[in-house]
Amino acid sequence: MATATTPNVRLSSLPPAAGQAGLRGAIASEFTKLRSVRSTYWTLGALFIVSVGLAVAITAGTAANFANNPGNKAGFDATQTSLGAFFELGQLIIAVIGAMVITSEYSTGMIRTSLTAQPRRGVVYAAKAIAFTSVTLVISLVTSFVAFFAGQAMLSGKGVAASLFHTVTIPANAMVNCIGGAGGKVPNGNGPGPGPGCGHLTVTFSGTDVITASNVLTAIIGTALFVTIVALIAFGVGSIVRHTAGAIAIVIALLFIVPILEQTLPNNWRWDIMRFLPDAATRVISVTVGGTNIHLWSAWPQLGVTALWAAVLIGIGAYLFRERDA
């Protein structure tokens, strides 16, 4: 009996899978997503332009004002003045992109594609956090240093500009006298300039404040770290609520509204609560002149409180990211 034979057909095949998709590939994918979205460039560009532009405007205006109010040079913190716009408005701008990094994928449904390509949700979440933190930290450091140098350039020649390369000494106190008019004495240079009837203005400085290069460097780097941590707070909130507008609203309330409400509390409550709020680091991290707020911890421990907020929110977000449906 004849038997049927199977033709010897050689089939081409794909190479066998080698290993498992890991964190490195997921991070590369997240960097690609960040680069391919226009909102990333617009938001980070706005962060840089607003922070540096306002630093120049504020310090230039302050430098011009010294002509009418020379006593204001006493105890003037040039570093904090340069960085003020960055840590006040920068945290608001960076919170937007921090929330959008994860919420935008839920709004478009892209998160399902991401989880199909990489089913291990913990890897996806970690990759998003790592890629976003890296980009934010770099742009924050660049913005912080540029804002500082631009601000000090506006204050150059006024006797109060800080430096990253040597110690600077500025007057600690000032007594302003208006001679030949009704201006009177203005202690510490904190009052108004000479009035209409002031014939001659004299300023007597006393004491000194020493600004070291190490304190200036701490303020610059600390401010950049604070803005980066705020971005991670927004990322954590975004992963919890999964809605862009809701996440941004919560972060704004946490960083701006709650501190205002806290001011209405009785002093003994307010002083105990304020050091545990995530925004408190802005009051000490950029200070280079004078003592710190007695109701707050020093710069790094206070920044650690903000970092703890970020860690808790990111941790909750990671748990929910793994447990909930996409």
Instruction: Give the tens place of pLDDT for each residue, 109-120.
Output: 888 888 888 888
What secondary structure letter does DSSP report for 263?
Answer: T
- CA-nearest of 200, 234, 195 to 95 is 234
Quick one: pLDDT at residue 202? 86
Q: Does the structure show a pLDDT above 70 at 92?
A: yes
- For residues 143 and 306, give the distance between their C-alpha atoms in angstroms, rounded to a whole number: 20
- Inform me whether the pLDDT recorded for 188 exceeds 80: no
Per-residue model confidence (pLDDT) at position 194: 55
Give mean pLDDT, residues 37-65. 93
* CB distance 107 to 247 below 8 Å: no
Q: How confident is the model at residue 199 (pLDDT cuts 50, 70, 90)?
A: low
Residues 217-244 have a mean pLDDT of: 96
Average pLDDT over residues 224-236: 96
CA distance 144 to 129: 22
Average pLDDT, the chain: 87
